Amino acid sequence: MPIFVDHDEWREKIVDAAIRVLGDLGFAKFTLRAVSNRLGGSVTMVTHYFPSRDALLDTMLQQTLEDARTVQDELIAIEDPHERLEAIVRYFMPDNDEGMAIERARVALVSHRNVEPAIERHLALLEPGMRNLIATAIGDFISPGEIEPTVDLIRLWTSGMVLSAIEHPELWTPERQNAALSHFMKLIDLPVTAA
C-alpha cells in the first residue's frame, strides 16, 4: 500500500525549518544541509521540493509576505480603533516562539540585503507594508499631517522591542514585552478624531 505524502505540509515544514535555521545560524550558514539537519533527514528531502538554496529562500520570503498580508487583513478588520492599534503594535512584537524565529531570521537577512537581490526585494516590500499597516491603524486618531511622524515613533518602538528581545531574550520575556506594550499604549493614548 503506497504511503500518502502531503506535499504542501512538507513544503511548510521545510520553510519553517529554513526560517529557524536562518535565525539560529545566520545567512552564512543557511544551507540546504542545515535545513535538512534541522528536519532530521537527508538533503534530498529538501531538494525534492527546493532544488537550490535560492529557490528555498525565494519561497520562504514569498510565504512570509503572504502570511503577513493575511494577518494584516485580519488586523485591519478589528472595529474598535484602540483595539486595532494595540493589536497591530502587538503583531510586530516577537512575544512567542514563532514571532521570535521570524524576527531573528529577518534580522539575519538585513545584513545581506545588498548581496542577495531576493532579500533586497523582500525588504523593499516589507517595510512599506508595515508602515502602511500602522498608518491605517492610526488614521482614526490623528490628522493626516501627523501620520508620518507617529508611524515613525511606533516603528522605532517596535524595532527597538524586536532588537531588545533578540539580543536579550532572558530579559524581554513575553510578559515583559506585553507590560511594555501596555505602558506604551498609555503613553500614546490617542483620542479618536471626529470623522
Task: Report the percent of the chain where pLDDT is more than 70.
Answer: 96
For 107-154, write each residue's pLDDT tens digit. Answer: 999 888 888 888 888 888 888 988 999 999 888 888 889 999 999 999
pLDDT at 157: 96
The residue among 157 and 113 whose pLDDT is bigger is: 157
Confidence of residue 96 (pLDDT cuts 50, 70, 90): very high
Residue 67 and residue 63: Cα distance in Å, rounded?
A: 6
Q: Is the pTM of this model over 0.85?
A: no
**Residue 72, Cα to own-chain centre: how many angstroms?**
11
The domains of the chain are located at: 7-187
Model confidence at 1, in pLDDT bands (50, 70, 90)?
A: low
Q: What is the pLDDT of residues 174-195, one digit of tens each?
A: 999 999 999 999 988 777 664 4
Burial class of residue 68 in the structure, from the number of CB atoms within 10 Å of its CB (0-12 exposed, 13-18 middle, 19+ buried): middle
- Joined grid coordinates for residue 183: 505602558
pLDDT at 2 over 70: no
The CATH number of 7-187 is: 1.10.357.10
How many of the other CB atoms lie within 10 Å of CB of 152? 12
Closest CA to 59 of 108, 111, 17: 17
